Each structure stands twice: as C-alpha cells, then as structure tokens.
Amino acid sequence: MDRRPRFSAGPPRNLPRQPRRGRRHPGGRLRTPARRGPDARRRAPVLRQGRPHRRPPHRRQPPRRRRPSLSAPRRPGPDLVGIHHAAGWTAVVIAHLDGPHPDLSPASSDPDQIWALLDKLTYSPAPPPYTAAAAATPSGAAGLQGWNQLLADPPGDLEPEVRNRLHELAELEAAWPGLAHSDRIVHGDLRADNMVRDHDRGVTFVDWAHATTGPACIDAVSLAPQLILAGHAPQDIARLLDEHPATATDPLASTAFLAALTGHWHRNARKPAPPGAPGLRAYQHRAATAGIALLSLRMN
C-alpha cells in the first residue's frame, strides 16, 4: 500500500518553519498537524497568504468563547460519594481532597488553574437538576449595594477619587439588580479558603453553601480583588477581566457587579465588628481598596 504523504511537495521557501505535511483548507489556509511532546496542547498556527495570521492591534475584537481545555479538572467541585437520609437529617458524602488551599500570589500557577476552571464552570448553562436545587435559595449577589447610602451621607474620610465619583458608582450599582439574573452556575463565595489544591485533581472549589445561578461574571469578579490582595498588579487583573470569557462577554454586568460588591465592602467596613469575627472589617476595608483600584481602571 502506498503510504506516501498526501502532499509530497516541500513547503515554500519563503515560509519559515513551515510544517512538512499539512492539510489544505478553503481560503488558502494551511493547518499543521498536531505536534507531540510537552507542548502538544498548543494550537497549531494558522497561515494565510504566506504569513501567520494576526489581527491588527488597533482593531479590538470581542473574544470568542472557546470550549475549555480537556486538561482542566473534570468538575469544579469534589465528587459526590453518596446521599443518606436518616431521622429527618440528610448527609451528603463527598470525596476526600488531599492538599492545601491554593496560592494566589503572582509566583504561583494556581491562579491559572482557577481561571481555567471558571471558564469551564461558566461555559454552558447550569444543568436542570442544579437549577432546580438553586432556585430554592435566592441569590445574595443581586442585593449587594452600598454606594447609594454613602452618597446620601458621604463620610468625611472618603478618598477624593471616590468622593468625586460617588454619583457614577451609585448609578453602576443601581444597574446591577437588572443584570444579576442568568443561567450560569455561581459558587457565590469564591476565595482561597473555599478552594483546595488536591494533589491529583488540582484546584477544586469547595463550600458551596451560597451556590446559585446568575451571570458568568460573578465568581470571576469576586476573585479579582482577592488576587490584588495576594500581590497582583491591578493593571494585570483589569486586563485579565477584559479578556476572560466569563467577564468579557458582558462588560457592563461585570463592571456593575464590581461596583455593587465594592460598595458593599466600603459600607460594611465602617460598621462595628460582629461578634466572633474581629478581622472581618479590616478585610473588607482592604478588599474595598482593591475593588476601587479595579473600578478606576475599568471606568477610565
């Protein structure tokens, strides 16, 4: 049997690093065969008219939602082992996760895993069983607010930039309830201590007590200030929010939720500490500062 390659002719000389074999597609594109080795998961380059095809940098195109990589964890949460009912109680048994909380610092690769998992979590609508279970608990994210109260009675220690933009922040916050309903899975309380970096599965989301449905942006926007608190530059996180599919597909909802969440932190940080949570107000103050840094970049 003749096993010669489909195209026996070599590549044109004016194309550097041209693959030896390929498949010709309509429109003059030549897609290379999949490579093997450590970088086998990278997308093969697409060549058009003898040059790698890239969009000009001055043309801002909306991101195209691609199917998440199969190398990401299979599920965002731990595997369900079983459900047991006895004496009016329900026990939900989940698989053991072996590992620490993820490291959100810039030197760690854990944030990349988290963003990939968020992409997979919000790629498609929530399945009907999840939607039916989540419908029994209303979303707390839709009711987040704080700027309207601060606008009515501005504290004397407000930063000048925040004081000058109170009206804009209150308008963004007021728009959020109308954008807060959708069909994506929402964890609702995503931070490092609600995740486990399992030695086999990688990063996994745990503590789904606030699970609900809503826009894809909720968990991604909630995570963004946590990354700034962990040492990431606000400019880098703002750029990531511009590009990640969970937030880039609806920039208005993303910015409105960030405004509502930051207003909630800013208002609550000024209240007395609740019993048993002495560090809560200090955390909310730091988170509000990180949220303001992101809002300034998105509103500018």
Extract the tokens encoding 242: 């511009």
The predicted pLDDT at position 63 comes to 52
Higher pLDDT, 225 or 300: 225
Rounded Cα distance, 100 and 35, in Å = 34
Identify the residue with better confidence: 100 or 138.
Answer: 100
Domain range 99-299, CATH architecture: Alpha-Beta Complex (3.90)
Check pLDDT > 80 for residue 138. Answer: no
Single out the residue of 21, 14, 76, 39 nearest to residue 204, CA to CA.
76
Q: In this predicted structure, what is the pLDDT of residue 65? A: 54
The DSSP element (H or E) to which 185 belongs, if any, is: strand 184-186
Domain ranges for the chain: 99-299
First to last CA, the chain: 65
Residue 72 has pLDDT above 50, yes or no: no
Contacts of 36 (CB under 8 A, 6+ apart): none
Residue 29 in this model has a pLDDT that exceeds 90: no
Q: Kindly state the DSSP code that residue 116 receives in the 8-state scheme.
A: H
Using the predicted structure, report yes or no on whether residue 51 has a pLDDT greater than 50.
Answer: no
- pLDDT level of residue 137 (50, 70, 90 thresholds): confident
Decide if 175 contacts 198 (C-beta within 8 A).
no
pTM here is 0.74
Report the pLDDT value the prediction gives residue 21, as an integer from 0 to 100: 52
Average pLDDT, the chain: 82
Q: 2 pLDDT band (50/70/90 cuts)?
A: low
- Say if residue 214's pLDDT is above 80: yes
